[in-house]
Amino acid sequence: MDPLPPPPIATAIPDALLRTVYASDQAMYPVALSYDRLYSWANACPELCVCFRYPPAPREVLLSPENDDHVNDGDGTDGDGIVGVIIVLPLRRQYWERLLDGRLKEPDVEPGEMFPGSSLGGDGQENGMGRVVEEEVGLHVYHIEKFGAFNESMKGQRFSEFALAEVAARARLKPGWNVIGISALTATQDGKRTFERLGFSPTGYRELFVAKYPGQSPRESGSDTQQLRMVCLSPGQGTHLDQAIDGGAIVTMSEMTLRYEL
């Protein structure tokens, strides 16, 4: 029996891939998020914002150039060996709790203030005596996506399970971090099913994009953001949905989900 291939390795997200993620997210769910803000998240905590690729076979290593910049084209094709990507934001507890119920929106997450640690690297704060002060941290999955083939026979894991387990393990190793839970704002049916399977539960906060015209999609609206308006429903406001959309057509709806056990 042939041995199982080694697990994917986590590497920094190439800029081209990050831009691809940004463009696809904006086409599907056009929130007011700038690319600079997305880049600031990945730059502030690169340990939790990674892409996964299978390591090359020994012969491929011998044949490849010493500088691997040429293979990092970041388009998710088989040519660069990228399996998938995950972008996770570590938030101090007070900011994470605001995100869970909608008081804080994803595009407003500012890493310099809201990520744990005295530096953007998030290695914990010192109390002036050389000791790291522990902080409660909530992890928020901004994006997770599988691009290429993933060997699901490895530990019986799907890519989503593998990627979440990897970043959760990295977060637990951060000095001063007491990780209390993990959340995700799901915007597609596949995403909802994935996180439900992973044990996430809705917090009750929802974001809706409402179109003036029935049948309109985010792609059809193009760059004309006036064709869509965003409606936010806090926990407990579900009974007021018809009043909130005011006769408009719901184009897409996202739902905040949460799991306390990593």
The full set of domains in the chain, from first to last, is 9-203 (3.40.630)
pLDDT at 145: 94
Average confidence (pLDDT) per 10 residues, the chain, 262 residues: 74 96 89 95 97 73 39 40 94 98 96 77 51 88 89 74 95 94 94 95 91 58 60 74 70 91 78
CA distances from 161 to 13, 153, 206 (A): 19, 12, 24
- Confirm whether pTM is higher than 0.85: no
- The helix/strand/coil state of 208 is strand
> Rg for the chain (alpha carbons), in Å?
20
pLDDT at 157: 82
Residue with tokens 């999955």: 141
The four Cα atoms 88, 90, 94, 96 give a dihedral, to 10 degrees, of 10
CA distances from 53 to 10, 11, 76 (A): 7, 8, 10
> What is the C-alpha separation between 85 and 46, in angstroms, rounded?
12
| Count of residues in the chain | 262
Strand spans (E) along the chain: 9-12, 49-53, 82-92, 125-126, 132-133, 135-146, 177-186, 201-211, 228-233, 249-259
For 146, list phi and psi in degrees, rounded to 5.
Answer: -100, 130
